[in-house]
Structure 1
């Protein structure tokens, strides 16, 4: 069973690494071509501003770094005991955030070539999403120290209909039987009632 799972993860990782290589080459070759074609059709310049070039180079460097990291952790390794699949590249956590970086880089690169340089503003979604995840991680701790701000929200009006519905309790079978016995005058139930008081 474990060997089948390792083989599945290994084949998934190999295809993911191949796809990221093809994507890196495809996007970075297609973007200048599209930019050139749109500069002929529209009244845009072929060469973008220095800020956009620097941003593009930084994002490519980040994507290459992620690709090399994926190769390091995701390449299957063979040893005497058999095949070790490596880290699952379709998993969550940091790997998922790295994939988001790669995809957002490709979207911004192609989008800026087609639509214009304003598409690079979408790159701010990455730190915004990271901040959202970090806040959700820290929120329970903040709720302990600042319950009025970050704690659970309760209705302020105690006479609200939602509060009345929550106060009604459903009687279990055992409770219904005990109540019926007490109404009939069963002495066992009366003894339990007096011992609780």
Structure 2
């Protein structure tokens, strides 16, 4: 089973790396071509603003670094002679690997989107650090809850005494409802259903 799982991970990683390399090549070739064609058709300039160029270089560099890192951890590698081959990490995993894929996909979206729609698409790149901060906070929150339970610990009910009283009352009522009727109550109920006047008079007096 372990050998089959290792083969599945190795095959999936190989496919993912090939698609990643192809995607990097296509996106970075299409983007300048689209910009050039639109600059001829519309009044848009071919060269974007300096901030967009800086963001493009930053995110492309991050994507290439992530791709190289994926190749390092995703491919099986032979260890020392006589030892088993080390299986690569699953590139479909969670955590930092998932954040790396988000960086790559967002880079592709912003690169092609800015070439087609305009440079404002690069504002979407802010989602990457925002998601990274959220994942980091989710990871370290249990540690923060140990030192600051009032801020990061589980939320307790506002009035625990009232809630406990309500639960006890509901449980008592349920127990009373579950108790079987006595023989005397069953006889009185049967007489009332038959229309016994004596039982009806007793019931009227109790209601008064």
Note closer, same or farther for the CA distance 1:41–1:146 as it changes in structure 2 (3 Å cut).
Answer: same
Report the TM-score, using the length of structure 2 for normalisation: 0.71
5+ long unaligned stretches in structure 1: 171-178, 181-197
- Paired position in structure 2 for 1:49: 49
The answer to whether the 8 A contact 1:77-1:83 is kept is: yes
The answer to whether the 8 A contact 1:75-1:85 is kept is: yes
- Paired position in structure 2 for 1:195: none
Task: Indicate which of 135, 138, 143 corresponds to 1:136.
Answer: 138
- Paired position in structure 1 for 2:94: 92
Deviation sequence 1:41-95 (CA, Å, 0-9, x none): 3321111122211221121111111111111111123576676431111111111
The answer to whether the 8 A contact 1:13-1:89 is kept is: yes
* More moved, 71-80 vs 24-33: 71-80
- Give the distance between the partners of 2:165 and 2:28, measured in 1 at CA: 59
* More moved, 40-49 vs 149-158: 149-158
Note closer, same or farther for the CA distance 1:109–1:163 as it changes in structure 2 (3 Å cut).
Answer: farther
- Paired position in structure 2 for 1:191: none
Question: In the alignment, is residue 116 of structure 1 matched against residue 90 of structure 2?
Answer: no
After TM superposition, list the pairs within 5 Å mapping 1:154-169 onto structure 2: 154-157=156-159, 164-165=166-167, 168-169=170-171
Q: Which has the larger radius of gyration?
A: 2
- Give the distance between the partners of 1:5 and 1:37, measured in 2 at CA: 47
- Give the distance between the partners of 1:33 and 1:167, measured in 2 at CA: 74
After TM superposition, list the pairs within 5 Å mapping 1:29-40 onto structure 2: 29-40=29-40
- Give the distance between the partners of 1:19 and 1:4, measured in 2 at CA: 23
Count residues in correspondence.
172
Report the TM-score, using the length of structure 1 for normalisation: 0.74
